């Protein structure tokens, strides 16, 4: 009996530890902002911003209220990832047909040093005639990126004067009230993106 006691104690400790870990994970789970489509979204993602659009006018997040929006953080000198995602956004909006008019596509640059309104004005029409390009000061871009949990940093090659930007690549679906409804990972097929947007629209229409 004495030889079995340590085994019983160890088993008891393991069970207690496992239960405590389970409770911790349950408490730490982020709340969902929407029951349909896309990734689970923490409600703390997103927030107000005021930036400069590709026409040189100031624009804030309230300008997007009333419709849905697809927001992407990228930059015009991006060689592959950004053009792919912006192309996917445009294709998803076109696939929605008339409902696509209710979705505003937006690109917020993470490279304000190079992405002036003039540069954005030449870039955004290449993807969609309603795509809005937004830039700002370093502080403004840093602020909005932090609100959307976007990581970015400048990557320089010592043998070149040209630099690239490392950055996270998510597309954010914003609902008509300004909240983040869903997030799409890099490479999400535009058909899946359109289906998720349609689901959100249908769910809202029923409420």
Q: What is the CATH number of the domain that holds 82?
A: 3.40.30.10
- The interaxial angle of helices 190-206 and 81-95, nearest 10 deg, is 50
At residue 172, φ and ψ (nearest 5 deg) are -100, 125
- Going from the C-alpha of 168 to that of each of 11, 44, 81, 85, 165, the distances in angstroms are 43, 18, 10, 12, 10
Q: How many CB atoms lie within 10 A of CB 163?
A: 13
Task: Tell me, yes or no, whether 144 lies in a domain.
Answer: yes
Task: Tell me, yes or no, whether 195 lies in a domain.
Answer: yes
Q: What is the CA radius of gyration of the chain?
A: 22
Nearest to 60 by CA among 94, 69, 126, 92: 69
Its domain, for residue 134, covers: 50-206
Q: With contact defined as beta carbons under 8 Å apart, do 184 and 193 qualify?
A: yes
* Mean pLDDT of the 184-205 span: 95
Q: What is the pLDDT of residue 29?
A: 34
Task: Tell me, yes or no, whether 18 lies in a domain.
Answer: no
pTM over 0.85, yes/no:
no
Q: What is the pLDDT of residue 43?
A: 52
Q: What is the pLDDT of residue 162?
A: 84
Q: How many structural domains compose the chain?
A: 1
Task: Tell me, yes or no, whether 193 lies in a domain.
Answer: yes
What span, in angstroms and rounded, lies between the C-alpha atoms of 169 and 110?
Answer: 11
Task: Tell me, yes or no, whether 79 lies in a domain.
Answer: yes
Task: Tell me, yes or no, whether 44 lies in a domain.
Answer: no
29 against 113, higher pLDDT = 113
Task: Tell me, yes or no, whether 45 lies in a domain.
Answer: no
Q: What is the pLDDT of residue 124?
A: 98
The mean predicted confidence, pLDDT, of the chain is 84
Q: What is the pLDDT of residue 156?
A: 80
Q: Assess whether pLDDT exceeds 90 at residue 8.
A: no
Per-residue pLDDT band at 205 (split at 50, 70, 90): confident
Q: What is the pLDDT of residue 118?
A: 98
pLDDT tens-digit map of 10-44: 444 333 333 333 333 333 333 344 433 455 554 58
pLDDT tens-digit map of 133-175: 999 999 999 999 999 999 999 988 777 778 999 999 999 999 9
Q: How many CB atoms lie within 10 A of CB 83?
A: 15
Q: What is the pLDDT of residue 10?
A: 40
Task: Tell me, yes or no, whether 38 lies in a domain.
Answer: no
């Amino acid at each position: 009996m004495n030889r079995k006691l340590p085994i019983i104690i160890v088993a008891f400790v393991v069970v207690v530890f496992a239960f405590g870990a389970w409770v911790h994970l349950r408490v730490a789970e982020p709340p969902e902002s929407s029951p349909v489509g896309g990734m689970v979204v923490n409600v703390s993602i997103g927030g107000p911003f005021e930036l400069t659009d590709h026409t040189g006018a100031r624009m804030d997040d309230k300008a997007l209220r009333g419709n849905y929006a697809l927001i992407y953080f990228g930059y015009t000198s991006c060689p592959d990832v950004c053009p792919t995602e912006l192309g996917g956004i445009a294709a998803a909006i076109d696939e929605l047909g008339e409902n696509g008019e209710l979705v505003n596509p937006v690109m917020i640059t993470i490279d304000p040093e190079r992405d002036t309104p003039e540069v954005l004005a030449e870039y955004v029409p290449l993807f969609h005639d309603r795509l809005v390009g937004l830039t700002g000061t370093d502080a403004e871009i840093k602020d909005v990126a932090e609100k959307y949990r976007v990581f970015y940093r400048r990557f320089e090659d010592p043998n070149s004067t040209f630099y690239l930007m490392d950055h996270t690549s998510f597309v954010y679906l914003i609902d008509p009230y300004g909240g983040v409804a869903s997030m799409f990972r890099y490479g999400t097929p535009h058909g899946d993106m359109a289906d998720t947007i349609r689901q959100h629209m249908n769910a809202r229409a029923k409420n």
